[in-house]
Structure 1
Amino acid sequence: MNQVLVKVLYGYAGGVLLIGAVNAQAEAVVTDNVVSMVAQSQTFVPVTFGQVFKDGDIPRGATVTATLNDQPITLQVDSKAANPDGSLRHAVLTTMVPALPGHAKLHLTLSAGPTPTAPGPGKPVSLSQLLATNYNAKMAINIGGTNYTADARALLQAANNTSTCKPWDKHCNLWLSGPLVSEWVVNGPVTAADGTINPNLRIYFAVRAYAGGSSGAVPQVRTDVIVENTSAFTPQAQPQYTATLTSGDATYTSPALTQYAYTRWHQVLWWNKAQPKIYLQQDTQYIQASKAVSRYMPLKPDEKFLSSLRQSCAPLDHCDQTQAMGTTGAQAAIGPLPRWTSVYIVDPDVRAYNWMLANTDALGAYSIHYRDEQTGWPISIQKHPYVTIINWASASKLATQNSTKGAAYKADLLPGCTNNAVISKCTTAWYGTGNPYSWDNAHQPSEGYVSYMVTGDYYYMSELAFGASHNEIWSGEAYRGFTKGLIDDAHSQVRGKAWVLREMADGAWLLPDDHPLKAEFRADVENSLADWNTKYSNNPNANPLAIMDSGATYTVVNGQNKPTGEKGMAPWMHNFLTWSAGHAAELGFVGASEFRNWLAKFEIGLMTDWQANPSHGYCWLEASAYTAVVTDATGKNYLPSYSAVYAATFPSLVGLACNSPTMVTAMGVLERKPWQAGEMHGYAYSATGYPANLQIGVAAAADSGLPNAKAAWELFDSRSAKPSRTNAYNNYPNFAVVPRFFSH
């Protein structure tokens, strides 16, 4: 066998580090592309990115090797997460492209290779090497007439002097370490010339230094400057300033900013403007096949649409995120993945990639980032079991009691806002920050998940962790079981349960294995799934409709707006939860398949119940109904079957054969517009209509393997009215999810 051997190095505590050993005949795992973004040729181009792998593609005992246009190339692998069988799940990969012609696209093929029996030459890029240069990055701001600064070099020098830089150190976190690149994340307050420290703003410098060959020089340094007002238990403030960032010749000046409590922003600078002009285009079909994300329809966004996408957003701007997320109706952020991320997943055009990152950056403008100043990491409910946002008013009263319980609440109480020249409407009646951008867990987007997955950046990793932590601490402390992180009772809306489960599962699955909060997030997911399975999947007395008891139903009114006594529910919210449970099952969480299978009976039932009785069973054209009646007139007893739900919800359709000409005519009367055979209720041509919402639930149900599951999908896919024209999925693929077995 013809083998080409390249230098190898491995063995640091946070994960295996190596420079690739290439087998010329190794079977490819995935091929990405290194794309030049300029007409000029480039040499010695550093490329660092995140890569997710399918289970078993890089098995235990193997490593990742690489070729560039079929030629072996050196690769550094910083492993971040592994699967239970020891195979590699996620890593940050770095290579150095020797020559990149203008506008070239070079294939970077990743393969599994044998782990070397002995380490090769080469040492990790060190802090001493970096400090031997004149590198620096600084931030300068003026707050209320006082000048404050933060200095990356001084922070790095202090860490080097004390040898404190290691993975997850509070002051100097070692993020990457190897012969091609090392990255350190240091942090400190902004300080005035007289030594005065601003108590709210803290600056994080993620400093990535690339090796320059055998000379030991460090010619290229990337600094991600992160500005945070995130100290969870420090009294709230809203500093107003303009910031100037510098790194050698590279500079950035922000617009005038008001930084509300629990927000953050960041800006990347390359020392002396030595930024490579490249785009690492990933194979997003492989990402879908890895089950890290759902499978999507084969789609191609319009060129005009791609050309219109914003490529960046100003600091602390909400960008395309909904300013008040609690606003009802369709939002671009709602779905398994938000619009900007799903567009990237179906087509990894660089404009879609930049759009995704811009809107992930925009999440920094929302007050969802709570850092525990004692640990240096997002708040842990294991350490702060009494912390709560939604129940803050009650918690603040309990904190005044002179008792053991009162002391516990006081220790975990978040400081509320106070009215001043910047904000108003603060009150002790509820928790607030005065931030005009408001978050809502029931409408929240996926937070940083795919952005971290494909970039491997510390900033997006921490955004993912902040999002999971916020979902923990937002909930009522007793309802979540204090340290258990239970989702069901803590979130009244079914869509809230769905998106919180997604956020917790994503964080628990993708965050580095040694992240200080990963085990806690995983426990939250496992506790919640066990809770649901006890209540529903394994409970012979659970309701026969496979719907949630908690937060699922509401009062039904008649044409005169009078309560009928019945209770109704929103099928589309249930679709979200079925998908979310299916997503957790695909990520491998114990109990998730069991819960998804119980929920999936609902989607399968609404789609196929009519087959046993075409004129009285639940007709699939109404499976996408906005509401469905699910109890009798007492409001206490669930209806016994989907046929009974159909009769209570659509009495004028009962007795008409499903999808028959007479029923289609009756549908037209009910909907007050012309109808056609095979057309489902609820904006059938819209990419955000109720059939689109139903699609993700039916797709997840179809993958369950339950009786009639595949038939339910095939019937749904046969519908005559689908998203089209300006409302087509190609530019709005949030809900364009299909089963794993789907084929066109």
Structure 2
Amino acid sequence: MANVDLNSSLATPRPPTAATPTPTPTLPPPSVVQPAGAFNCAADAITCVEVASASSQTQGSVPVTFGQPFKAGDWQPTSQGLVAKVDGTTIPLQTDELSTHRDGSARFAVLSAQLTNLPAGQKRIINLYRGAKSNSTPNVPAKPDWNLELEAQVYDANGSVTTLVAQPQAQLVSQIASGSERRLAGAIASEYTVTLPFKNKATGATHPHLTARLHTRLVDGGQRIRTDVVMENTRTWTPNPANITYSLDVKRNGSTIYTQPKFTHYHHARWHKVLWTGSSAEPQARVRHNMRYFLDSKATWNYDLSINVPEAVLAKWATDLQKLRTAQAALGPMGNAFLNPYFPSTGARSEIGPLPRWTATYLITQDERVREVMFANADAAAAVPIHYRDEKTGQILDVETHPKVSVQYGTSNPVVPSSSPKDTIWHPDIPHQGSFTYIPYLISGDAFYLEEMAYWAGWNVASYNPAYRQETKGLLYAHQVRGQAWGMRSIAEVAHALPNSHIQKNYFNSILANNLAHYATYQNNSKQSPIGAMIGSSHTHDAAPWQNDFVGTIFSLLVENNEPGAKTMLDWVNRFNIGRFENEANGFCMAHAPGYYWKVRKDTGEFITSWADLYATNYPTEQGKACSTLPITEGYPHLALGYAAIARGTLAATSNAGLKGATSAYQAWKAKTPLMDADFRNDPTWAIIPR
């Protein structure tokens, strides 16, 4: 696989000092399979989830909070409520953080349910139904027994130590009284985001950069409190942003309940730790989704749920994660897990695809080991220095408020303070960026992962040259083609996932709409290829079919979600994506469809307009040979991660978007590439199939 360049960068600068290498798990023989263990919902339910006890004892109270996507039209929250039943008996259910489809029906919600008397090792199916609307009144004490204190020992370059403290109890009490900064509100769970800076314990002076954001969830009437302690070094405008070396103790009523040993927290990065406190222990339960419905909601692509992933693959993910945690221990929360810290490096990587390999594997298996890997990588992405919070608004930096801002390329106005020192293990970019936290948020409903999505999408827009992105429009068209694909994915993810009530919902919707309106102009544009081949910022005469496929895959899901303008762009780009597979009668042999780079302009600079000319230009030695006699030698047709597999996944996604010719092209290409099917069990990144 040395020549597979799915992730190459045309201009590859010298990488910074690298972290511990992150090997891709070795692919074992697919001999022993681990079935996904599907479960059945009630026939008349919208969908259901399974809650399994992870305790060795019966649990009297088991509150669970999770995310749930919905198919368009299945639940109209303006006129209908949502009801939960276990074995036909109604149980308490609470709905929060609602995002809707364009027709007003629910797209996504964070749900909280209350189970009782769950025996050790037992499972319960929670079926969800439409029902009468009802109110869920918050049930929290005015002064909960929380009493957390965060104490950081900060080390300067000379080894001197300063003690910083953050004491959030009074602020939580105030927010409970006012109802402010509350994202979950009901009888089952109430969650407040308590934000405060650290102060010098001796002088009371506020630290300029280190901030705590505590997502504080009270359940069982406040007898249990789940605190997601988020440590941020993310301010945009404060002078002299830098790495901070410190240790952290979290105390409750003066006793230490968690310690993070000394490590270096990178500038514009963050990390988190979930802690449970209160009179009862943390609920021990695992939530699994009805994955058939989850995928049918069109929140993501239609992965092949019939794949049996070998047990050896699942076990290898787990053992490799433990090895990496040991190897990266010195980095503390800034460890990179399986992520390659030097994004532009060449070679196939597990994070590159519509979803990362580990995420696709989780969707197919819902295996707990792969879930742990998926969340470990989501947490690692928080250590990348792309996190810019506008301390003037408290929100992610946006280009509507600051049209001429840039945090990476071009001249910024206002000037963003530069980071010193700049040395981290990371070198982020957009063309080699994974989808790190979208699925983790959809299954967990955790605020940390929602904000991670917003940070990445915000950076993808604000990092670019203001002139190239057309300032407030936030356009991505000037990037490499693959950068346009992954950038559009990040914007769509957060635009769809953010609850309707979120203050930045309209901002990300606007950025998405601006880009879709721009791409819709490609349909009849003399500056664009008449056969739908995209040319990015680094190529003027060549197009990469596989990068075109990236774009086609992203836009196919946008079309399935009825985003205006998306189909106009998809129709244009699929002249090329589908055309490579259906123009043998016009002089282009399908065997060469998974090519690497093709010339799409003549030497005179004019676009090639016919398939016969495209074939003659790029495959002159194949002229005169019958297409039926040509073997498929390009694109690694026997592997699940080659260009041939990418093409198959794209054709399936395009078929799901309803484009003419996509289904027949998929069927024809699937018949010609049977060897990759066995490898999808080891790597299902592109194992997308027609719905």
TM-score, normalized by length of structure 2?
0.87
Q: Distance in 1 between matches of 2:362 and 2:502?
A: 27
Alignment partner, residue 662 of structure 2: 709
Is 1:511 paired with 2:498? yes
Is 1:332 paired with 2:332? no
Alignment partner, residue 533 of structure 1: 520
Alignment partner, residue 207 of structure 2: 198
Q: Distance in 2 between matches of 1:94 and 1:152?
A: 25
- Helix, strand or coil: the match of 1:598? helix
Given residue 655 of structure 2, which amino acid in structure 1 is its aligned partner? Answer: A
CA-to-partner distance for each residue in 1:120-173, whole Å, 9 max, x for gaps? xx63124xx051x43222221101211111123132134456x3x42xxxxxx1
Identify which of 435, 448, 470 aligns with 1:446: 435
Pairwise CA distance, 1:527: 1.1
Alignment partner, residue 167 of structure 2: 151
Pairwise CA distance, 1:79: 4.3
Cα distance 1:306–1:332, how it changes in 2: closer, same or farther (>3 A)? same
CA-to-partner distance for each residue in 1:613-657, whole Å, 9 max, x for gaps? 5xxx211111001111212123x1111212211111111112111
CA-to-partner distance for each residue in 1:525-556, whole Å, 9 max, x for gaps? 1111111112x1144774222022443735xx
Identify which of 148, 152, 158 aligns with 1:137: 148
Alignment partner, residue 283 of structure 1: 290
Q: Distance in 2 between matches of 1:244 and 1:343?
A: 36
Alignment partner, residue 414 of structure 1: 416
Alignment partner, residue 621 of structure 2: 652
Q: Distance in 1 between matches of 2:372 and 2:648?
A: 28
Alignment partner, residue 78 of structure 1: 96
Contact preservation (8 Å) 1:603, 1:701: no
Alignment partner, residue 429 of structure 1: none
Given residue 651 of structure 1, which amino acid in structure 2 is its aligned partner? Answer: P
Given residue 537 of structure 1, which amino acid in structure 2 is its aligned partner? Answer: Q
Q: Which moved more, 1:594-603 or 1:68-77?
A: 68-77
CA-to-partner distance for each residue in 1:70-116, whole Å, 9 max, x for gaps? 32211111142122322111111111111111111211111111325
- Helix, strand or coil: the match of 2:459? helix
Contact preservation (8 Å) 2:481, 2:535: no
Contact preservation (8 Å) 1:498, 1:580: yes
Identify which of 469, 487, 493 aligns with 2:458: 469
Contact preservation (8 Å) 1:26, 1:113: no
- Helix, strand or coil: the match of 1:359? helix
Is 1:177 paired with 2:177? no
Q: How many residues align?
A: 630
- Helix, strand or coil: the match of 2:334? coil
Q: Distance in 2 between matches of 1:596 and 1:86?
A: 25
Alignment partner, residue 258 of structure 2: 252
Given residue 153 of structure 1, which amino acid in structure 2 is its aligned partner? Answer: Q
Alignment partner, residue 637 of structure 1: 606
Tell me which of the two structures has the higher relative contact order, counting C-alpha pairs closer than 8 angstroms and 6 or more residues apart: 2
Percent of paired sites with the same residue: 32
Identify which of 61, 70, 80 aligns with 2:79: 61
Contact preservation (8 Å) 1:295, 1:738: yes
Written as runs of structure 1 = structure 2, the 5 A alignment for 1:269-348 is: 269-272=275-278, 274-297=281-304, 298-310=306-318, 314-348=332-366
Cα distance 1:705–1:47, how it changes in 2: closer, same or farther (>3 A)? closer
- Helix, strand or coil: the match of 2:578? helix
Pairwise CA distance, 1:702: 2.5
Q: Distance in 1 between matches of 2:84 and 2:545?
A: 47
- Helix, strand or coil: the match of 1:589? coil
Is 1:619 paired with 2:577? no
Alignment partner, residue 406 of structure 2: 388
Q: Distance in 1 between matches of 2:565 and 2:192?
A: 38
Contact preservation (8 Å) 1:509, 1:587: no
Alignment partner, residue 137 of structure 2: 123
Q: Distance in 2 between matches of 1:390 and 1:208?
A: 36
Pairwise CA distance, 1:210: 0.8
Cα distance 1:723–1:137, how it changes in 2: closer, same or farther (>3 A)? farther
Alignment partner, residue 683 of structure 1: 636
- Helix, strand or coil: the match of 2:52? strand
Alignment partner, residue 230 of structure 1: 234
Identify which of 648, 653, 665 aligns with 1:695: 648
Given residue 196 of structure 2, which amino acid in structure 1 is its aligned partner? Answer: G
- Helix, strand or coil: the match of 2:471? coil
Query: C-alpha root-mean-square deviation of aligned residues, in Å?
Result: 2.1
Cα distance 1:143–1:472, how it changes in 2: closer, same or farther (>3 A)? same
Alignment partner, residue 48 of structure 2: 31
Cα distance 1:680–1:587, how it changes in 2: closer, same or farther (>3 A)? farther
CA-to-partner distance for each residue in 1:289-327, whole Å, 9 max, x for gaps? 000000012222222222233478651111111111111
Given residue 181 of structure 1, which amino acid in structure 2 is its aligned partner? Answer: A
Contact preservation (8 Å) 1:27, 1:112: no
Cα distance 1:540–1:323, how it changes in 2: closer, same or farther (>3 A)? closer
Is 1:570 paired with 2:544? yes
Is 1:522 paired with 2:509? yes
Alignment partner, residue 5 of structure 2: none
Alignment partner, residue 485 of structure 2: 498
Is 1:605 paired with 2:582? no
Written as runs of structure 1 = structure 2, the 5 A alignment for 1:585-600 is: 585-600=559-574
Cα distance 1:538–1:629, how it changes in 2: closer, same or farther (>3 A)? closer
Pairwise CA distance, 1:588: 2.1
- Structure 2 unaligned spans of 5+: 1-40, 156-160, 326-331
Q: Distance in 2 between matches of 1:524 and 1:222?
A: 34
Alignment partner, residue 531 of structure 2: 545
Pairwise CA distance, 1:36: 1.1
Cα distance 1:478–1:229, how it changes in 2: closer, same or farther (>3 A)? same
Pairwise CA distance, 1:447: 3.4
Contact preservation (8 Å) 2:640, 2:686: yes
- Helix, strand or coil: the match of 1:255? strand
Q: Distance in 2 between matches of 1:390 and 1:320?
A: 25
TM-score, normalized by length of structure 1?
0.81
Contact preservation (8 Å) 2:52, 2:122: yes
Pairwise CA distance, 1:579: 0.8
